[in-house]
Amino acid sequence: MHERMATGGGPVGGPPQGPGGGVDGPNMGDRQQQAQPPHQPGQGDNTPYDNRKRGDKGGGYRNGGMVGVWPGVETELVAEKSRSVERIRMMMKPGMFSFAVILPLPFHAPSPASHEKDEEGGKGQVIGFLGITSPPQIFYIFSRGSWGTGYATEALRAFLGEYWGRFPGGLKTEAGSGSVGVEKDEGGDFLEAHVHDGNVGSENVLRKLGFEVVREGKTVAHGVEVRMQVYRLNRRR
């Protein structure tokens, strides 16, 4: 999987907008390949939770875009709006541990504008992001075209091995995530993902990698009370 992952580089100006101002397949720019500390995308713009059910197609989400597990139970589809792109750009902060997930060419890419040079100088398609927000919480977000391909599972598996190998005591950060009910651990002994009820695809990815539900609850997102599942993976000793 490592050939499909690229660490973030210098300041990111934000991905180009498609016809609808979307973020599908963002272009990270040549600076994304610089050998500098990783940067991290943050919470996207989302629409209110609207009585989605676990059995609904696509989790019952109304918008296109990317599906993701966001920090602090912000698990939503990113609305294809320009302010979603702006939020991702603003949340790419130094000192975090995150990756862009890049598919090498040749392959069928729905958006030629999103082709990017990979670390070996070849061309690739950015299909998503994943990383740490405020430890112990992780996030991942992938474009719709990559759903059901196994790329999210493959990328997250590689990420987990790299994270725990590089940060045996956890990642120290001052970045806040607005999380709810997180125990005082900084990613040394376990990692967590908070998922809004109904995001079946994201839950399946987590279960495949050994995450288990440790608690359920409710929180408020965009002024609406939503149910959430908290998944946890303990470090293997």
**Residues 153-165: tens digit of each pLDDT:** 999 999 999 888 8
Question: If residue 1 lies in a helix (H) or strand (E), which one and from where to where?
Answer: none
Domain ranges of the chain: 2-234
Tell me the C-alpha distance between 210 and 123, whole Å.
33
Burial (CB count within 10 angstroms: exposed 0-12, middle 13-18, buried 19+), residue 37: middle
Closest residue by Cα to residue 155 from 170, 138, 172: 138
**Residues 103-142: tens digit of each pLDDT:** 887 655 455 444 445 444 556 888 888 888 777 888 888 8
Tell me the angle at which helices 151-166 and 200-208 cross, rounded to the nearest 10 degrees.
50
Prediction pTM value? 0.55
Mean pLDDT (the chain, rounded): 61
* Of the options 1.10.10.10, 3.40.630.30, 2.30.22.10, 3.50.50.60, the CATH number for the domain spanning 2-234: 3.40.630.30
Between the alpha carbon of residue 212 and those of residues 186, 203, 234, the distances in Å are 18, 9, 9
